[in-house]
Amino acid sequence: MPISIRSIFCNTATEDSPVRTLSTGMYYISNATYNITSNSIIMLDTKDGQFSVKLPPAPVSGDIIFLIDVGGNLEAEPVKIISNGSNIFRSNVSVDLTKSYMQYTLFYFESEIGWIISESDLINKGF
């Protein structure tokens, strides 16, 4: 499966649309829930406030999503992952990402378990 690259940065710009395209593959979000597509890489920056990302509604086994905190502000301004009907660790709940400078890898296993989330510390790995 090809992986697309999408960059998401939170921005409090006042526009009619909460999602604003700046250039190919780069979006600014303000007070919105962003719908993630499977097999993508998403850069997160919450310097201007919290926002939510919604998981795909019909994932299949093997789908993967990378969420990378490039702003380093998740401890103060977490990003909420909304399950969108699929389980996250066997539960249909939302999860807050609260550790700064982390790469979160979401892997969809199957419907009972759902999405598995692993963390990788970007700072202490020398990135």
Strand 4-10, strand 26-29: pairing = parallel
For residues 87 and 39, the answer to whether their CB atoms sit within 8 Å is no
Question: Is residue 94 a part of any domain in this protein?
Answer: yes
Find how far residue 96's CA is from the centre of its chain. Answer: 10
Question: Is residue 102 a part of any domain in this protein?
Answer: yes
Instruction: Write out pLDDT tens, residues 17-74.
Output: 445 444 444 444 545 678 888 888 787 888 778 889 999 999 999 999 988 888 888 9
| pLDDT above 70 for 86 | yes
Owning domain of residue 113? 4-121
Question: Is residue 39 a part of any domain in this protein?
Answer: yes
What would the mean pLDDT of 72-89 be, rounded to a whole number?
93
| pLDDT above 60 for 13 | no
Q: Distance of CA 39 to CAs 1, 12, 44, 106, Å?
A: 7, 27, 16, 10
Q: Please count the structural domains in the chain.
A: 1
Q: Distance of CA 99 to CAs 77, 83, 121, Å?
A: 10, 19, 9
The CATH number for 115's domain is 2.60.120.640
Q: Which residue has the tokens 């992952």?
A: 81
Please state the pTM of the whole predicted model. Answer: 0.77
Question: Is residue 127 a part of any domain in this protein?
Answer: no
